[in-house]
Amino acid sequence: MNKSTGSSVFQTNFTKSVALPSLTIIIAISLFCGFFSKEAEQSFNFVKDIIFRNLSWLYVLLVTVFVLFLITLAISKFGKIKLGADDSEPEYSFFSWVAMLFAAGMGIGLMYFGVGETMSHYATPANANLAENLRAKEAQLYTFFHWGFHAWSIYGVVGLSLAYFAYRHNLPLAIRSGFYPILKGKIHGKFGNIVDVFGLCSTFFGIATTLGFGVVQLSAGLVSLHLIPDTGFTYQVIIVLVVMLIAVFSAISGLGKGVKKLSELNIMMAVLLMLFILICGPTIYILSTFTEGLGHYISHFVSLTFNTYAYEKGSQEWFSNWTILYWAWWISWAPYVGLFIAKISKGRTIREFILAVLFLPSFFNFLWMTVFGSSAVWIDEHVAHGALSVFANNPDTLLFNFFTYFPLTTFLNALSILIICVFFITSADSGIFIMNGIASKGAISSPKWQSVFWGVLLSLLSLSLLRTGGLASLQTMTLITALPFGIIMALLCYNLWKALVVDSEYSEKKYSHGSLNWNNNNWREHLEKIVTVSQKKDVHKFLNETVKKAFEELSVELSKNNIEAHINSFSDPQAIELEIKYDQLRNFKYGVMAQRQTVSETLINEKNTPDIDSEVIFQPITYFGDHRMGYDIQYFGKDGIISDVLREYERFLNLSSEGDHDLIMKPIS
């Protein structure tokens, strides 16, 4: 709900119970990390080390549950359920959808760690006693592990849960909505506010730290192009301001115009860069390691998933600093990325959502990491003779040092900087959109000044922390918050499963045996209608005469039984509905609308069919208050329509009496 601030200058749709606590926490923690950076870093690192050392098994268990949960849903009967009404269609094309979820999820990370992670594992393997000839193979394996299905399952759990409850059941696009099956109306109370405050703070801190650390890589790239003399703070300020200015402008222009176009542009530039490295690098070696790497990853998938290094004490520090840190980092980003993925996924089926979110970005990540990582390893072994490994712990400059071994180095540097910039812009743009949504309980649109506000706040706090050295502390604090949100995600899985079971039972509910015997013996009238093609005027006549008369006659009989029914008419599209209103239940609604249908050219040209003069016909299609797919009733007479309404009403009363379908049968307040 939009609320005026009391001034005629601007309005806000911020929810005070979410926005004010979130801003207080964000500013307080940022000030603590900024003014007491050393103390904050020591305190947060102490807590993080305790959590990582004693609860690493819990991180592994949680991520394993997320992977298995999504795979189970994809292959189950629930996979056919749509994220929306049964007849809803996706808002974005498949390419745009994949490009946006990829750009928001990991785009900037691929540029930062595309060379860096494989080289780090290669230079400092998890197993210090690993044979020399296996270092590159194991480095690729762990890179795949950290950037593959497990990472995207974390994002997928949040995105799927929120998209389902938002689009299937018209709840707000907010984390609180995922708890409706167990909390019902209480999601609008204090618990829902706490969950959304957590999600808003996590999103803000995740974007702020990424913005702060990423500007270091951008400044290093600009130095390599001799566009700036050094990586000093003054130039970092300029970079942040330019990036955020473009991001805010993109956010104001709207999600479809801003993020969509930038994401499509960036995915094409990224593919261009990857192909250049593939062609100009050790092509045969890259393709060979990619094929072998996929097999190595698949064959070790189960052992990697469950491994806690309980029997390998020497590798536990590596395990905490890499795998557990990655799981914590992906979980800390899950509120932001999950909400964004949910926003762009309306109309997809659950199976389509899971398969696309798990497999497509993961496969691209594998290919990207192989092209850049394997090329770097090969160059280090055969050309640089170890010179590239020296930069393994400095990913800010490693990518640009890697490019020096390729032709057109300046072009590669410039293209990479452009890709990084656009990834930054799309991350900030989508982040601003998501923060507006969380702070306003899932509002579809927000006043433009709010986007400017988030952009300014992100810029100021990121730069102040970058100046005082507090970004590392903030990053550590964000990793600490991942554990409680991981538990929240496990509860989201439980709630989603509970809701899907109810949804499936509801959709598969059969008519009672008594109603199956209801029929209409006027077969000659049916035959006449079958061989008569309905045009728009015919359907309108059918609605205004047959359907309306049926509703009027039925409403009279209902009133005799103290049941008040309303007849509603609409002009665009032409429709009429019978509605029975309730206080404790969703309203019963049986409607009929004139729906446009396209006739195939084959049927039009066929001789042994009714005469069809136009490729467009119209049919009277039913619709219901619970958004089920309707059906054609053009062959029903007045009595047949009354029987059909009674059949649906009898089903409605049966479902209401069972008490197990509150999510669907009770109104959302």
DSSP string, 302-344: HHHHH---TT-GGGHHHHIIIIIHHHHHHHHHHHHHHHHHHHT
Q: Where are the domains of the chain?
A: 3-503, 513-665
Task: Assign 10 a pLDDT band (cuts: 50, 70, 90).
Answer: low
Instruction: Using a pLDDT cut of 90, give the percent of the chain over it.
Output: 32
Element (H, E) at 662: helix 662-665
Q: Is 280 left (phi over 0), alpha (psi -120 to 50) or beta?
A: alpha
Summarize pLDDT for 193-222 with one digit per residue, the tens: 888 888 888 888 877 877 776 787 778 778
**Residues found in the chain:** 669
State the Cα–Cα distance between residues 5 and 21, nearest whole angstrom: 17
pLDDT at 250 over 80: no
| CA-based nearest residue to 479, from 155, 48, 118 | 48
In the DSSP assignment, the letter for residue 625 is T
7 or 39, which is more confident? 39
Which residues are CB-neighbours of 138 under 8 A, at least 6 positions away?
A: 121, 125, 126, 127, 130
Burial 270-283 (b: 16+ CB within 10 A, else e): beebbebbbeebbe
Number of H helices, E strands in the chain: 30, 6
For residue 512, the model assigns a pLDDT of 46
- Closest Cα partner for 146 from 389, 381, 399, 318? 318
For residue 619, the surrounding DSSP H or E stretch is: strand 616-624
Of the chain, the end-to-end C-alpha distance in Å amounts to 13
Closest CA to 516 of 654, 644, 649: 644
Q: Which of 320, 102, 331, 81 is nearest to 198 (CA)?
A: 331
Whole-number pLDDT of residue 515? 47
pLDDT tens per residue, range 510-539: 654 444 445 666 666 656 666 666 677 888
Residue 493 has which token pair? 């899985």
Gap between the Cα atoms of 560 and 214, Å rounded: 71
Can you give the pTM of this predicted structure?
A: 0.78
In 3D, which of 177, 104, 142, 173 has the Cα closest to residue 357?
A: 104
Q: Quick one: pLDDT at residue 199?
A: 84
Which residue, among 386, 412, 411, has the nearest Cα to 399 in the 3D structure? 412
Cα–Cα distance measured from residue 85 to residue 96, given in angstroms and rounded to the nearest whole number: 22
pLDDT band at 609 (very low <50, low <70, confident <90, very high): low
pLDDT digits (tens, 9 = 90+) for 126-158: 777 777 778 899 999 999 999 999 999 999 999
Longest Cα–Cα distance in the chain:
93
> What is the phi/psi pair of residue 24, to 5°?
-65, -45
H or E stretch at 580: strand 574-580
Hunting for tokens 């309203």 — which residue is that?
587
- In 3D, which of 16, 343, 12, 331 has the Cα closest to residue 173? 343
- Indicate if the pLDDT at residue 350 is higher than 90: yes
Show the tokens assigned to 229: 């003399």
Confidence class of residue 297 from pLDDT cuts 50, 70 and 90? Answer: very high
| pLDDT computed for residue 497 by the predictor | 96
Nearest of 424, 128, 143 to residue 266 by alpha carbon: 424
Instruction: Confirm if 409 and 276 have CB atoms less than 8 A apart.
Output: no
Residues 6+ apart with CB under 8 A from 431: 203, 204, 206, 207, 336, 454, 458
Residue with tokens 């032709």: 407
Q: Are 503 and 664 in contact (CB under 8 A)?
A: yes
290 φ, ψ (degrees, to nearest 5):
-65, -45
Mean pLDDT score of the chain? 84
Q: For residue 177, give every residue at least 6 positions away whose Cβ sits within 8 Å of its Cβ, in sequence order, or none.
A: 162, 165, 166, 171, 187, 442
Q: In what order do the strands lie in the sheet with 574-580?
A: 565-571, 574-580, 588-598, 616-624
Name which of 357, 312, 314 is nearest 334 in CA terms: 357
Between 260 and 279, the higher pLDDT residue: 279
Angstrom CA distances, 323 to 66, 151, 298, 594, stand at 16, 11, 18, 56
How far apart, in whole angstroms, are the C-alpha atoms of residue 201 and residue 193? Answer: 12
Task: State the architecture of 3-503 in CATH terms.
Answer: Up-down Bundle (1.20)
CB atoms within 10 A of CB 146: 23
The token duo for 395 is: 């990913």
State the Cα–Cα distance between residues 442 and 488, nearest whole angstrom. 19
